[in-house]
Amino acid sequence: MSIEYLGAKIFLDEINQTKQLWVARNEFRKIYAVEIELHHFSLPVWSDSDKVSEYLTNARLIGPPYQPHAIPVEEFTLSWLSDPARAIAELQINPDGKSSRVLVMTKEEFQAEQSPA
């Protein structure tokens, strides 16, 4: 079993237990994301607000300060990932802001994990 698999499993277990995941949002309601190609984004997501806060402490983001913002998992899966205007291609799972290495999950992988069995 790989470290990546375990990291993804822990993340999914945590968000499914609380029924929410976290993003970083600023006062203008802008969500922090990384453009990976023209009009496609990699969205950092976290399993709790403390992990977002730790990331925001370690990352050097430009512009208005970002804060942790909770999103219900069901809303995120059904609305956010399906919205072409958001153009979310992949998720960065629990990045810490200290390392350039991140665990990445495609939106399709995430949606498959959230589908009822």
pLDDT of residue 88: 96
**Cα–Cα distance for residue pair 7/26, rounded to 1 Å:** 27
Reported as a single tens digit per residue, the pLDDT across 13-41 is 999 999 999 999 999 999 999 999 888 99
The CATH code of the domain that includes 12 is 3.40.1350.90
pLDDT of residue 116: 66
More confident residue, 45 or 8: 45
pLDDT of residue 47: 96
* pLDDT bracket for residue 91 (50, 70, 90): very high
Q: Which domain holds residue 19?
A: 3-114
What integer best gives the mean pLDDT of the chain?
Answer: 91
The total number of structural domains that make up the chain: 1
3-state secondary structure of 36: strand
As beta bridge partners, residue 20 has 72
